[in-house]
A and B are shown apart, each in its own frame.
Chain A
Amino acid sequence: MKTHFLTAFVTGLIFGLGLLVSGMANPHKVLSFLDLAGDWDPSLALVMLGAIAVSIIAFSFIRGRNQSLLGEPLRLPVKTRLDTRLVIGSLGFGIGWGLAGFCPGPALVALGAGESKAAVFVAAMLTGMGLFELLEKRKSASH
Chain B
Amino acid sequence: MTIDWIAFTPWTALAGGLLIGLAAAMFILLNGRIAGISGIVGGLLTAKQGDNLWRVLFIVGMLLAPILWLGFSQLPPIQIDADYPLLIISGLIVGISTRYGAGCTSGHGVCGISRLSPRSMVATLAFMGTGFLTVYVIRHVLML
Contacts and interface: CB of A to CB of B under 8 A. Distances in A.
Interface of A: 3-29, 31-32, 34-59, 61-63, 67-70, 72-77, 79-82, 85-105, 107-115, 117-118, 120-133
Interface residues of B, number: 113
Classify the secondary structure of A's interface with B. Answer: helix
Contacts of B45: 126, 129-130, 133
A64 to B, nearest CB: 12
25 contacts: A8-B58, A10-B61, A18-B22, A27-B82, A39-B3, A52-B21, A53-B18, A54-B22, A56-B115, A58-B29, A76-B34, A85-B100, A90-B122, A92-B93, A95-B131, A96-B93, A97-B94, A100-B82, A109-B62, A113-B75, A125-B41, A128-B92, A128-B94, A129-B41, A133-B46
Interface string B90-120: 1111111111111111101111111111110
Interface of B: 1-4, 7-10, 12-35, 37-38, 41-42, 45-46, 53-55, 57-69, 75-82, 84, 86-106, 108-119, 122-124, 126-136, 138-140
